[in-house]
Amino acid sequence: MKRRSLILAAVAAPLAARLERARAQPRTMKDIEALQKNWKSLLAPGTPVPDPSQKLELTKEEWRKRLSPAAFHVLREEGTERPFTSPLNDEKRPGVFVCAGCDLPLFTSAMKYDSGTGWPSFFTAIPGVFGTKKDYYLIYPRTEYHCIRCGGHHGHVFDDGPPPTRLRYCNNGVALRFVPLKP
């Protein structure tokens, strides 16, 4: 009898966690639009927000001085970090995820979800912060996205995310910096 209870508990715990995450996620496009519109409320009053239209263009050497070697590889050379290596994968506090290259806000913590892929994943983004292009690196086409301000590579967007967007912005953690909610 104890073994059966143990097996049931082992199966039920992950399912309960998954149901709880699903309940916490926005259910309609109206909810998504509210998230996209109200993201600045997560920043401390007076926090400077870079203008996406003011491009940040640096030389290769200036980028090397500004970024860690891993961030340089991802943001400037379109590399990919190993899965399950980013501490941001487990970040659950309220706040904003900004570009590690130029500090442009890209996502909020309310846009994040656990995709199980090993990279921080988001079902939507702050509007107007990314440009996209097709990537044929793995032979089949993927949609790659870059910071609109500094051109830094962040990851790929897929159509296997949660409803209602069905999107998964699969982001390299080293391409992000987390700014926790300020009281």
Domain membership of residue 121 as a residue range: 2-180
pLDDT of 1 reads 47
- Residue 137 or residue 131, greater confidence: 131
The per-residue pLDDT for range 89-130, each reduced to its tens digit, is 999 999 999 999 999 999 999 999 999 999 999 999 999 999
Got the DSSP string for 110-139? GGEE--SSSS-EES---TT-EEEEEE-TTS
Assigned token pair, 86: 């980013």
Q: How far is the C-alpha of 110 from the C-alpha of 114, rounded, in Å? A: 12
Domain count, the chain: 1
pLDDT reading at 59 higher than 70? yes
Which among 102, 147, 150, 170 is annotated as catalytic?
170
Q: Which CATH number belongs to the domain containing residue 18 in this structure?
A: 2.170.150.20
pLDDT reading at 5 higher than 50? no
The per-residue pLDDT for range 12-57, each reduced to its tens digit, is 444 344 434 444 566 788 888 887 888 888 888 888 899 999 999 9
pTM of the predicted model, to two decimals? Answer: 0.82
Asked if 170 is an active-site residue, the reply is yes
CA distances from 105 to 6, 82, 120 (A): 44, 24, 15
